[in-house]
Amino acid sequence: MTLRMPNNPEHPSRVRGISSKEGWKDGFGPEWKGGYKKCDRYKQQMATLFQQQAHKEFTSMLGKFLEDPPPELMQKLASAMSNQQMSA
């Protein structure tokens, strides 16, 4: 037994029997609820991942800086502290 398909092509981005003004949520029903926001969830997950990576990198960079600060910074800090003690 062979099946014959109609000659008209399907339109995969459309829902039959639903107005073109309706969105995906209304067209596909409750069993697909949540699936139409996939891009938004993905973007939020990526933003969270980038924030976590930036926090790790900043914490690492700050730790290295505090372990071995540049000598010119230490001189400026010492100078500022001595000036503050003299004015007090």
Q: What is the DSSP secondary structure assignment for residue 9, as one 8-state letter?
A: P
In a domain, 9, yes or no: no
Query: Cβ neighbours of residue 26 under 8 Å, at least 6 residues apart?
Result: 18
In a domain, 52, yes or no: yes
Count: domains in the chain? 1
**pLDDT confidence of residue 88:** 63
Q: Name the token pair of 71.
A: 């000598």
Query: Cβ neighbours of residue 24 under 8 Å, at least 6 residues apart?
Result: 15, 32, 36
In a domain, 83, yes or no: yes
**pLDDT confidence of residue 35:** 63
In a domain, 81, yes or no: yes
Residue pLDDT, tens place only, 18-75: 666 766 666 666 776 666 666 677 888 999 999 999 999 999 999 998 898 889 988 9
In a domain, 75, yes or no: yes
**pLDDT confidence of residue 7:** 60
In a domain, 21, yes or no: no
**pLDDT confidence of residue 57:** 96
Residue 78's domain spans which residues? 38-87
In a domain, 27, yes or no: no
Put simply, whether the predicted model's pTM sits higher than 0.75 gets the answer no
Task: Find where tokens 């003004």 sit.
Answer: 21
In a domain, 18, yes or no: no
